[in-house]
């Protein structure tokens, strides 16, 4: 059975406060980008196997979130899951803030559940996903969402019907989540993101921000330059996504890549996106 874990972008990301458990309380939105996806194949086999192709993933296989998801399923079933081969074709850039690893993990949970008719409820799948990573739970949902807490307490965003063009730009380097949060500067007392998203997109530039830009742009000026280039090319809104290096621009029409000034070897991807 084939699955297509998609990328995501965050339109607005607020770091509110440091928690006693070491995490941060957040307020952020999640939107899927289905046209940019990894490919996950789960098939019955005589023994458990994991194959990973495509973009190289740092670390060992045992660190891969796909295998962590499989382990959670096994614990849930007390080891009674049938053996399978999981084949991952990696296409979403890593450490980019596009959520590829989290999507892979969430789709492994739902994929194993479907392939072997395990009967695990969608609520349990969502809870298991949140144990793997803060944004994994979003990828078990159908709609765009606002995330609270660690990002795993989700409220659907209704009526995402307006279609825009989306351009993703990812420079040839990544930023680890741990590094980004180490530099984070929490701040409370702002207008709720859900209200700002209800305004016209033309107003987002002055009201919706990703808090990681304040600390990452001075350290990585290439990111600020990419964002500025997207605005110069006609974007009505541009931002960093998540805590990684991906910068996205939202356009009313197709973006002209020839008008962009980008660092060498950037990954780019154009798509449609539905917004409130």
Q: Strand 84-90 relative to strand 49-54: parallel, antiparallel, unpaired?
A: parallel
DSSP 119-168: ---HHHHHHHHHHH-TTTGGGG-SS-EEEEETTTEEEE-----EEEEEEE
**Nearest one of 147, 153, 184 to 30, comparing CA atoms:** 147
Q: Is the dihedral of CA 108, 110, 114, 118 positive or negative?
A: positive
Residue 23's alpha-carbon distances to 28, 148, 182, 231, in angstroms, are 15, 12, 10, 33
Catalytic residue among 8, 68, 76, 227: 8
**11: exposed, middle or buried (C-beta count within 10 Å: 0-12, 13-18, 19+)?**
buried
Would residue 135 show up in a list of annotated catalytic residues for this protein? yes
Residue 111's alpha-carbon distances to 61, 73, 166, 179, 201, in angstroms, are 19, 11, 28, 31, 35
- Residue 253 DSSP label: S
Would residue 91 show up in a list of annotated catalytic residues for this protein? no
Catalytic residue among 38, 76, 91, 135: 135
Catalytic residue annotation:
8, 135
């Amino acid at each position: 059975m084939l699955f297509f874990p998609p990328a995501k972008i965050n339109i607005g990301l607020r770091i509110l406060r440091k928690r006693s458990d070491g995490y941060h309380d957040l307020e952020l939105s999640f939107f899927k980008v289905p046209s940019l996806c990894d490919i996950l194949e789960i098939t019955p086999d005589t023994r458990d196997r994991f194959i990973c192709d495509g973009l190289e993933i740092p670390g060992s296989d045992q660190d891969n979130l796909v295998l962590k998801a499989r382990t959670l399923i096994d614990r849930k079933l007390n080891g009674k899951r049938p053996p399978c081969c999981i084949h991952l074709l990696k296409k979403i850039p890593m450490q980019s803030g596009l959520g590829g690893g989290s999507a892979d993990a969430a789709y492994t949970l739902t994929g194993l559940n479907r392939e072997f008719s395990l009967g695990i409820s969608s609520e349990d799948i969502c809870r298991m996903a949140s144990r793997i990573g803060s944004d994994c739970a979003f990828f078990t949902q159908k709609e765009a969402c606002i995330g609270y807490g660690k990002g795993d307490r989700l409220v659907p965003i209704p009526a995402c019907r307006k279609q825009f063009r989306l351009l993703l730009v990812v420079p040839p380097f990544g930023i680890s989540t741990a590094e980004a949060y180490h530099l984070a500067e929490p701040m409370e007392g702002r207008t709720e993101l859900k209200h700002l998203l209800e305004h016209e997109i033309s107003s987002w530039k002055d009201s919706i921000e990703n808090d990681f830009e304040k600390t990452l742009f001075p350290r990585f000026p290439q990111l600020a330059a990419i964002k500025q280039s997207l605005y110069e090319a006609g974007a009505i809104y541009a931002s960093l996504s998540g805590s990684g290096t991906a910068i996205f621009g939202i356009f009313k029409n197709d973006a002209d890549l020839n008008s962009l000034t980008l660092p060498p070897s950037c990954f780019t991807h154009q798509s449609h996106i539905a917004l409130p």
